[in-house]
Amino acid sequence: MTEPQIVPRNLTARMGYRVPGNPATSRPEDAVGNCFPGLELDVRNLDRRFFPGLVFDFVARDDIYADYDQPLRFGARLSFIDVVNDPDVQGSSPLAVQLNNALQGDAGTALSIGEWYIDWIEQDGHRLMMSSTAADGSSQAFDGLYVWRIVRGLEPLRREPADHDHPVTLGMRCRTVGSAAAPVELVGWRRRFTDPSTGVISLAFQPGEMLQSLCSPWQHDFRDCGCHYWAANHPDVVTGEVMPGEPLLPDGSPANPELANTPIDWLRADRRREMAGAMGSYVVLNRPFQMDHYQINRTWQQLSVVIQGAEIGAVWSPPDDVDARPYGSAAEMAEVIRTRLAPTELTLALEYLYARSSVVDPATLPPDAPETLHDDAVFIRHFILLTAVSEMQHLRFANQLLWGLFDSGRVTDPPFVPVLAPSMTVPTPNRDAPWRPAELRPLTMDVLDDFIAIEHPRAEIDHSWSRVVATLRHTSYPAHLVELAERVARDGNDHYSRFRDIRAVLRAAYGHADPAPWLRPLRVATPIEAGDAIAMFHVILDRLRSAYDRQAQGHYEKSGPAVVEARAAMDQLLLASDALAAQGLGVPYWTSQ
């Protein structure tokens, strides 16, 4: 092996060092531990070296409910003595010198022969035995994990000199059958695992030591891990691969809604396309159809790469960004968000809510209603509600972008004021009439087509959000802002897909039935008729205004009560609008009609 040519020396260089041969995903910031802190290493590996110069194994039963039939096996077994590689034993304090001498002298010699276990631990005048006495007077050694818990409770060394700071005395006993070795006592201390000022791990730990005993991907763990550890690293639910030549929508998703919307099991054993059925809604249902142990060990390579939720078989190329030209300035972008995007998000949320209340209530269907109408109504109302809620989130993101731009100094004028008034026009895909008035309409097929057109990935709204994303990607903007805008842009695809699902369901079930069986009669109520609902609506706007104002000033914690009140009012508004709809009335969110 040749001499390394670049060797990191100071702490940041060591921290940022990419070990040759290790993939990028081996870096801490790429780790699963970001989702499940603590699962990236086995902390027992720290405590194996709790006592300088000694390395233990915590020998435990595989099954803690199993009979305790081999008591001599369990406990903290001395694995080996490590004086030379342990920097802590090289210190110059009297205690370190004494420990070093003991380990290199008679005590170390004795401990090298036979099976040695910790018999007792003493600190600050308290001695704990690592065994209990059974009824017949025999000694019962504690399970290794029990001993480990006691070791974890030791006080670490805090300050110099070590001699005066919680020294630890270990009583070691040889359990080799027939051994006549006398017990050994060692005085030391509980090692500090990390440096108190830099956080750097003690040099006593060897490379790879923290990772031993962890699960392995590509083995049974990948399929069976009970705590869903690997679930963070592997997809559970995917959509099927789009084969070359199959029609696509402009956003790159398949035109065939079945392919686009059928969830399939990524771990399915039968990889044939025609066998890829919709997966069940919980683990047990899918287990029989997943790769079994021997399969995952042998054929894990057949598992597909997944990008944006869909399996990819061939080389993947990203779809073109749709004409995402950055805005000329932060001020221009802010103007668009303030005057067009934020108000439109609110208008759409309200149009969708109104349309939802025109759909029959599944709880009050007449006995002669079509057989599937109950389930369809549940489905439609739920999907529309999800989309309306999502639009309300977008309204908040739009406001957050505005105050973020102002806060970061990218926009100085005008100062941030919450945007909470709906737009009175909505963009259309029609070149001759690019704007239509905002309208409260029941969910007829035409209206549904209009919603689909609005949410189309190439429509005006998505286009504008793409431009916001392109603008915010520049490094001169705070990094978190672009994430908000990307979220809005991505959600647009979901909305589009949901409305198309609704249309597919309605067409399949009811064709062009007239009147549409999923609708109930509805007209826009007068403000007096809908007094309660309108009052609730204004409470929502008022509380959101207050919450945005506070959040814009950095007082997130103080905005909490207003947010909670706004949410409660949203629930009440939903109930009130359902009650009105039962009387044939829709909430007049605006009065221009």
Footprint on this chain of other proteins (rule: CB under 8 A) = 3-13, 15-16, 18, 24, 27, 29, 52, 87-91, 93, 96, 157, 159-162, 191-192, 194-198, 200, 202-203, 407-409, 475-479, 553-554
Shortest Cβ distance from residue 311 to other proteins (Å)?
27
Query: Among residues 417 and 509, whose Cβ is nearest to other proteins?
Result: 417
Q: Whole-number minimum distance, CB 326 to other proteins, in Å?
A: 16
Residue type (1 letter), 320: D
- The CB-of-96 to other proteins minimum distance in angstroms stands at 6
CB of 167 to other proteins, least distance (A): 12
* Least distance (Å) between residue 124 CB and other proteins: 18
What whole-number distance in Å separates Cα of residue 297 and Cα of residue 301?
9
Q: How far is the CB of 212 from other proteins (least distance, A)?
A: 22
Count the neighbouring beta carbons within 10 Å of the beta carbon of residue 48: 21
Contact 190, 50 (CB under 8 A): yes
Close Cβ partners of 575 (under 8 Å, ≥ 6 residues apart): none
The answer to whether residues 217 and 233 touch, using CB atoms and an 8 Å cutoff, is yes
Nearer to other proteins, 10 or 591 (CB): 10
Which of 268/550 has CB closer to other proteins?
Answer: 550
Residue with smaller CB distance to other proteins, 400 or 464: 400
Name every residue whose Cβ is closer than 8 Å to that of residue 254 and which is 6 or more positions away in sequence: 242, 246, 247, 248, 260
In the bound complex, what is the minimum distance in angstroms from residue 402's beta carbon to other proteins?
A: 15
Terminal CA-to-CA distance of the chain, rounded, Å?
Answer: 81
Question: Phi-psi category of 53—alpha, beta or left, where left has phi over 0 and alpha has psi -120 to 50?
Answer: left
Closer residue to other proteins, CB minimum distance, 209 or 439: 209
Q: How far is the CB of 406 from other proteins (least distance, A)?
A: 9
Residues 6 or more apart whose Cβ sits within 8 Å of residue 252: 308, 319
Supply 343's token pair.
């108000």
CB of 188 to other proteins, least distance (A): 10
Give Cα separations from 453 to 139, 187, 374, 456 (angstroms). Answer: 78, 77, 27, 5
147, β-bridge pairs: none
Among residues 24 and 314, whose Cβ is nearest to other proteins?
24
* Burial status of residue 87 (CB atoms within 10 A of its CB: 0-12, 13-18, 19 or more): exposed
| Buried/exposed 376-415: b ≥16 CB within 10 Å, e otherwise | bbebbbebbeebbebbbbbbbbbbbbbbbbbbeebbeeee
| CB nearer to other proteins: pick between 8 and 313 | 8
* Residue number with CB closer to other proteins (95 or 395): 95
Nearer residue to other proteins within complex by CB, 17 or 218? 17
Minimal distance, residue 380 CB to other proteins, in Å: 43
Long-range contacts from 254-262, C-beta under 8 angstroms, 24+ separation: 257/500, 257/501, 257/504, 260/497, 261/497, 261/501
DSSP-assigned states of every residue in 341-409: IHHHHHHHHHHHHHHHHTB--GGG--TTS-TTHHHHHHHHHHHHHHHHHHHHHHHHHHHHHHHHHHHTT
Least Å distance, CB 209 to other proteins, is 16
Q: Smaller CB distance to other proteins: residue 104 or 290?
A: 104
Whose Cβ is closer to other proteins: residue 136's or residue 557's?
557
Please tell me whether residue 85 adopts helix, strand or coil conformation: coil
* Bridge pairing between strands 585-586 and 523-524: parallel
- Locate 239 and state its tokens: 């959509």
